[in-house]
Structures are given as structure tokens and as C-alpha cells.
Structure 1
Amino acid sequence: MQYSQHATEHRSRHAARTFRPGLAPTLVVLALLPVLIALGCWQLSRASEKRTLLAAAEAQRQLDPISAAELARLPPRSYVRVRLQGRLDAEHSVLLDNRTRNGQAGVEVLQPFFDRVGHQWLLVNRGWVAWPDRRVPPQIETPIHDLLLDAWTYVPPTAGPTAPVAGWPRLVTQVDAPFLWDQLGREGSPLEIRLEPGDAAFDTDWPIVAMPPERHIGYAVQWFALAIALSGLYLYLGIRRARETHDHDRHDPA
């Protein structure tokens, strides 16, 4: 028993001689290391969520489109394919501002669409067009005949307070379909309907997610690398200080 206690005390003294990081560095590591690890794990979780979202969206977009009448009976959700039959309202265009493609400034063009099968109004996003010169309105051509369009649904983020804007086309920074229908005095779907490539569509290359899973993985690697670097620095500092203290004690026994 005494030998075991003596051995334990000996190991403790030896560890103290080989590793003495100090109180301040220890407190810093205890505070920062869990945060860095948690941030890395959170980024991995976000990457997993994005992969799941992309897979679900792709699965939805492989299905046959439903009619606008069937869509009206479903709860609002994104990435549901829908087939529209009707006509665009060229008199009430909405330009979604601050949209860039390949470094070029532009807008997304949204217009009311009356579907003759579902007998309802929908807000159709025809896609992106360039707008390099803000002094000149973008050129938007709208078919005046009946159209048969394939599209998919998108639930836009909750819009903040929207102030009424006079005149058409109307320049906005967020999509607010209910507000638009209220302004027009119409009953319409709260969804944004994004066209697939085809008739009446402009540039429809929308990203499903703003940040791909690969970027989240890259951020996770960075956070974990910082955690490893902090741990390595802490170990180095502890060993170095222990050696300096040991050398000082050995040369100055008093």
C-alpha cells in the first residue's frame, strides 16, 4: 500500500516536472477548445443537413409535375414540380433586385400568372436577366399567348415589413407574394413558382442552397485544425515551461 502511494506520488512529481503550462494558458484552453470543437461539429452537422436537402430536392424534381389545382390542396413546401397552363400578366412585373450571376449584376423577373386549370393566380419567377446599366430599365419580353409551363415551388423566407411602391415594374429586395396579391386585390398562392428551362424562362440556374456541403466541410476542417493547433501550442508551452523551471531549480538549489 505504501509502495503504491509512493509510486503515485512519484509519477505526479515527474509529471509536474515534465508538464507545467501555467494557470492562464490552462484557462484559455479550457475556454476556447470546447468552442472550436463545437463549431467544427456544427459545420459537419450543417453539411449533413445540406446533403439531405439536396437529395430531397432532387428526388422531388424527378417526379412528374402535378397540376396547379392539386398544388392548391397541398401544404406549402418547396421543390414540388407543377405544370401550369395559362397566361402571364405583363402589366404587373416585379423585379427582385441584388441578384448576381457570374459576377454580373441583374434581377429576377416575377410576374403574376393565371392558371386556367386551377383557376388561381400564382407568382411565377421567370429567372434572372442582366441589368448592367441602372439608368436603363431591363428589357423584358412577355409572351401574350397561353403557355404550358413546367416549374417547381419555392417557399421564400419570411418577408419583413413591405412598404407600398408605386408604379410598374416594381423593384423589390424580397419576395412577398401575399403582399403583392393584396396590392392587386387578388387571391393568389403564397408560393414562389420558379420556371424550369423552356418557354418564357430566362436564366433559371438557381442554387438549391446558398452554401454547398463541401464548403461546410472546409470550415469544419479549419475549426478542427485550430483546435489541434491550440492543443499543440498548449502542450509545447507546458513542456517548455516545465523544462525551464527544472533547469532553474537544478542550477539554483537554494
Structure 2
Amino acid sequence: MARGGVGQYSQPPRRRCFRPGLGPSVAVFLLLPLLVGLGAWQLARAEEKRVMLAADARQQALPPQPLEQVLQGAAPGGSRVRLEGRFDADHALLLDNRTRDGRPGVELLQPFHDAASQRWVLVNRGWLPWTDRRVPVAFDTPPGPQALTVDLYRPPGQVLELRQVAGEGWPRLVNRVDAPALWTALGRDGVPLEARLEGGPAAYRVGWPTVSLGPETHVGYAVQWFAMAAALLALYCYLGIRRAREVVDEPQPVPL
């Protein structure tokens, strides 16, 4: 039996729930897939680099082939080639803005006439330091017949272009290489690819990397993107739980 007078009823405890708010929810909805996608893309790039390095290792293990035999293949880029002939000492290209160990320099490219195929090849003989641009780059050309081993090189995803930087004479300073343009200018039948010289008496400083960034670098980038995604998700959860507790802990009026 209820007693007379005005009774007091306690409000039932409110259930705690996740309350992150609209703004943080929209931000996480937009940023989290982006961060995860960037991490996955870096992992895919790392796998691509592993495939490239493995293919290069297999190619380097093969003996060099005659030039004409290699050119008859579907994709001569990356192939090892054996050349026998002479350098053209009168026409040389200096590929500018090439740095090694923090030192400025150039790469020396010279036409080479292969006696077996009777074709010209633009051979990159390697890197030379050039610290004082007021002084011409010093190099020499090996005289007489030469036997070379080179790697035919095609930059991935680039259109090669010959651009003159300074001077009309020879050697000519350029910032990109376009072998076909050089053969057209000289009126010669040449291979439309750059050939990078392997070590030997005619080589300067060689040793070009197969890839600019190794797989481990891409994996490191992927870890950073995934860590940012995890931090964003953790912050979102913390914010939602904290706001829910603030709502629960607010003093509630007791109805009379």
C-alpha cells in the first residue's frame, strides 16, 4: 500500500555506450581506409622490387650474349651483352647531376662500334667527379680494339630524352639520355638503348643500383602507415569511451 505524500523515485542507472561524436567518426571513416591503403600499396611496391631484384640476379648469372642475338629478343632491356670493337673518342656525352657519396659529378657516355653486328652502342663508362665546374671533366678514351661486357638499360616508366644543357661542341653536357636522338644527329645505325659498362679497364666508377629504393625501405614505409592507422583507431576508441563516461558521470536530477 503506497504511503501518502509526494514520493521520490530514483532514476535507473544509464547504460554506458560508445559516444565518439560525429566529427571524429567522419574523420576516421575517411582517414583509416586511406592509411591502410597506403600501407598495403607500400607492401605491394616492396614485392615488386623483390621480383625486379630476383630477375636481375638471374640475368646477371647468365653469360653475356652477342648484341644481334639479344636485340632479336622481345625485351632486350636488362640483358648482358658482349661487345667487341672501338670507342669513338670524338663524340662523348656527360650526363650531368650525378652524385656519388655526396660528391657532384657526371657519367661519361661514348659511342662504341660493335664489329660483329656493325652497329653503334652508346656505352655508359661510369661516374666521374666534377667538383669545380670551371674546369673541364678529365677523361680518356681507350685506344684500339676493346672487349666489353655491358648491360642494356631501359629506365622503367620513363621516356628518354636528349636535352642539351651547355655548349654545342664535344663532349656535350646533357641532363637526360636519348640514344636514338644521338644516332640521328650523327647519322649512324645505333642501338636505341643505353648500355652500362660492367667493371673493366675501360670503366670508371660503375655499380648502378637495380632499384632506387630497396624492398626493406618500402616495408618500413608500410609499417609507418599501419602504425598511423592503429594510432588513429586507438585515439578514436579512447575518445568514444571517455565521452561515454562523461555522460554517465553527470549528476542526474531525481524526480519527486
| Native 8 Å contact 2:78 2:153 kept in 1 | yes
CA deviation profile, 1:31-71 (whole Å, cap 9, x unmatched): 00000000000000000000000000110011010011212
**Equivalent position SS for 1:98:** coil
Deviation at 1:19, TM superposition (A): 1.2
Q: Name stretches of at least 5 consecutive residues in structure 1 with no aligned partner.
A: 1-12
User: How many angstroms apart in 1 are the aligned matches of 2:110 and 2:34?
Assistant: 46
Percent sequence identity over aligned pairs: 53
- 1:105-124 Cα deviation digits (max 9, x unpaired): 11111000000011100110
Which of the numbers 218, 221, 224 marks the counterpart of 1:219? 221
Corresponding residue for residue 101 of structure 1: 100
Name 1:74's counterpart in structure 2: 73
Q: What does residue 167 of structure 1 align with?
A: 169
Question: Matched residue pairs, number?
Answer: 239
> Does the 8 A contact of 1:19 with 1:238 survive in 2?
yes
1:229 maps to 2:231: yes
**For residues 113-124 of structure 1, what are the structure 2 equivalents within 5 Å?**
113-124=112-123
* 1:204 aligns with one of 191, 203, 206: 206
In structure 1, C-alpha distance between the alignment counterparts of 2:54 and 2:146, rounded to whole Å:
30
Partner of 1:7: none
Shift of 1:147: 0.1
Tell me, yes or no, if the aligned pair for 1:85 and 1:149 is still in contact at 8 Å: yes
- Rg bigger for which structure? 2
TM-score (norm 1): 0.90
Residue 181 (structure 2) aligns with: 179
Q: Per-residue displacement from partner, 1:46-99 (whole Å, max 9, x unpaired)? A: 000000000001100110100112123223433211110000111110011111
Partner of residue 23, structure 2: 24
**How big is the alpha-carbon RMSD for the aligned residues of Structure 1 and Structure 2?**
1.7
CA contact (8 A) 2:97 2:175 kept: yes
Cα pair distance change 1:72/1:251, threshold 3 Å: same
TM-score by length of 2: 0.89
1:31-110 paired onto structure 2 within 5 Å: 31-110=30-109
Paired residues of 1:61 and 1:79 also in contact (CA < 8 A): no
- Return the alpha-carbon distance in structure 2 between the equivalents of residues 142 and 30 of structure 1: 63
Separation (CA, whole Å) in 1 of partners of 2:137 and 2:164: 23
Query: Shift in Å at residue 183 of structure 1?
Result: 1.0
Distance in 2 (CA, whole Å) between partners of 1:210 and 1:105 is 18
Q: Is the 8 A contact 1:149 1:199 kept in 2?
A: no
